[in-house]
Amino acid sequence: MAETNTTNDAVRVGTQAQEVAGLLIGDIISGRLSQGSRISEPELSRKYGVGRGPLREAILRLEGAGLVVRAPHVGARVVTLNQAELSEIFAVREALEGMAARLAAIHMSDQQLLDLESLLKTHASHIHEHSGQSYIDQEGDLDFHYRVINGSCNQRLIRSLCDELYHLIHMYRKTSGRRARPEEALIEHQMIFKALKDRDGELAEMLMRRHIARARREIEQFIDSDKQS
């Protein structure tokens, strides 16, 4: 009986930790917990209404995802993304998402492609309604890239992109004022989708890499202008 209770407690803590991790990720990506800010366990325990055990496990999960860093004598803090690190992240993303697009052209079902086409129509409507001033706030299943990554059906690739890089990139999207023009991004997404629909993995990879490289060049240009100023 004692062993059963211990197992149930462990499951409960794990479930709470997962829920708290989701709340923490939301607060970090939105900027409510700003980059570089200290992670206060007592404060967050009160805020989320959970014990220190699930909270500490959640913080450890976020350390694994690269959203939280821990320093000796300082404790846990929200990661601070500098421009050089972002350039490296986007370089890795370019290679991995290119591979994901190639695989998605092979593995995505006809229904997944129909759903992706419907998503792009929703994005197009949003851009039209906002006179091209913004792209729809993408996250999870609302995110074109997220759909393509999961469509690759390669679990290692999905974990690499969605468990770490995805949150860091989403954090950058939310906190940075520098974004690609919505119409341009939509056109590029539509071109990638056509390659996926045509089952042309080579073209899908090339277009995805080119699409992400544009964002990487923007970051690198910002770094160069920063050095010159």
Q: Are 89 and 191 in contact (CB under 8 A)?
A: no
DSSP type of residue 164: I
- Give the span between the Cα atoms of 149 and 166, in whole angstroms: 10
The residues facing 66 across adjacent strands are none
DSSP 20-68: HHHHHHHHHHHTSS-TT-B--HHHHHHHHT--HHHHHHHHHHHHHTTSE
The whole-number pLDDT of residue 4 equals: 47
The whole-number pLDDT of residue 10 equals: 47
Joined tokens for residue 25: 């990720």
The residues facing 68 across adjacent strands are 78
Q: Which candidate, 96, 77, 70, 91, places its Cα nearest to that of 28? A: 77
- Give the span between the Cα atoms of 41 and 30, in whole angstroms: 19
The whole-number pLDDT of residue 136 equals: 53
- Give the span between the Cα atoms of 67 and 198, in whole angstroms: 37
Strands (E), the chain: 68-71, 75-78
Q: What is the pLDDT along the chain (229 residues), one digit of tens a residue?
A: 545 444 444 445 568 888 999 999 889 988 899 889 999 999 999 999 998 899 999 999 999 888 999 888 778 999 988 877 888 888 999 999 999 999 999 999 999 999 999 999 999 998 888 765 566 556 666 789 999 999 999 999 999 998 778 888 878 776 665 555 788 889 999 999 999 999 999 999 999 999 999 888 877 776 555 555 5
